[in-house]
Amino acid sequence: MISVTAADLGIDMEDPSGHGLYKWLLASFLIGKRIRSSVAVEAYRNLVDRNGLDTPDKLARRSHRDLVRYLGQAGYARYDESTARRLHCLATRVSGELDSHLIALSNGGMDVSTFRRWLLGFEGVGPKTVEIFMREAAAVLERQSTKGSLR
C-alpha cells in the first residue's frame, strides 16, 4: 500500500473550519478499504476536487446514486454500493457531530483517545482507517485539546 498524506491530497490539516480534518477523515475512510491506494485517491479526488464535496454537509446532501457513480468513475466496482451507503452515513453523522467533538477537545471535555473511540463507532471505520487518520490528525487534535480554544 502506498502511503498517502494529507499534503499529497492538498488537505490543510490546520484549516480552522475543521474541514481539513473532515477531508482527511474522508480520505482515510477510502484509503483504509481493501482497494488499491491509487483507486482510493482517485475516488477522493473525484468526490472532493471534481464534485465539490469538501464538507460533510455537501456529501450528505448527495444521492446514493450520485455517490455510486462518483465511486465507479474512480474505479470502485465491487464495493461502490456499500461504500456509497457508508459514506453517506459518515457524512451525515460527521456533519452533526464533528464540530461539537472538536470543541469538546479544545475545552478539555474530551481527550484524543475518546475521539478515537468516537471514530470507531462509524460503520465502515475500523482500526486501519483510524490508524491512517490519526497518523496526521493526532498532532492537530492534541494541539486543539491543549490550546483551550478551537478557533
The pLDDT tens digits of the residues spanning 17-53 come to 779 999 999 999 999 988 899 999 999 999 999 999 9
Rounded to two decimals, the pTM is 0.90
The pLDDT tens digits of the residues spanning 49-79 come to 999 999 999 999 999 999 999 999 999 877 7
The domain spanning residue 140 has which CATH number?
1.10.340.30
Closest listed residue to residue 89, CA positions, set 66, 117, 135, 121: 121
Q: Residue 114 domain-assigned?
A: yes
Closest listed residue to residue 41, CA positions, set 54, 28, 52: 28
CB atoms near residue 99 (< 10 Å) = 15
Domain that holds residue 49: 17-147
pLDDT at 80 over 90: no
Bigger pLDDT: 103 or 62?
62
Residues 36 and 74: beta-carbon distance below 8 Å: no
Q: Residue 38 domain-assigned?
A: yes
148: left (phi over 0), alpha (psi -120 to 50) or beta: left
Indicate the number of domains in the chain. Answer: 1
CA distance 27 to 68: 16
Q: Residue 88 domain-assigned?
A: yes
Q: Residue 2 domain-assigned?
A: no
Grid cell locating 30: 477510502
The angle at the Cα of 32, spanning 26 to 38, to the nearest 5 degrees, equals 85
pLDDT score of 104? 85
Grid cell locating 119: 471514530
Give just the sign of the alpha carbon dihedral 37, 2, 98, 112. positive
Q: Residue 46 domain-assigned?
A: yes
Q: Residue 86 domain-assigned?
A: yes
pLDDT score of 147? 57
pLDDT score of 79? 77
The pLDDT tens digits of the residues spanning 107-148 come to 888 888 899 999 999 999 999 999 999 999 988 887 766 654
Q: Residue 12 domain-assigned?
A: no
pLDDT at 149 over 50: no
pLDDT at 84 over 90: yes
> Based on C-alpha coordinates, what's the Rg of the chain?
15
Q: Residue 79 domain-assigned?
A: yes
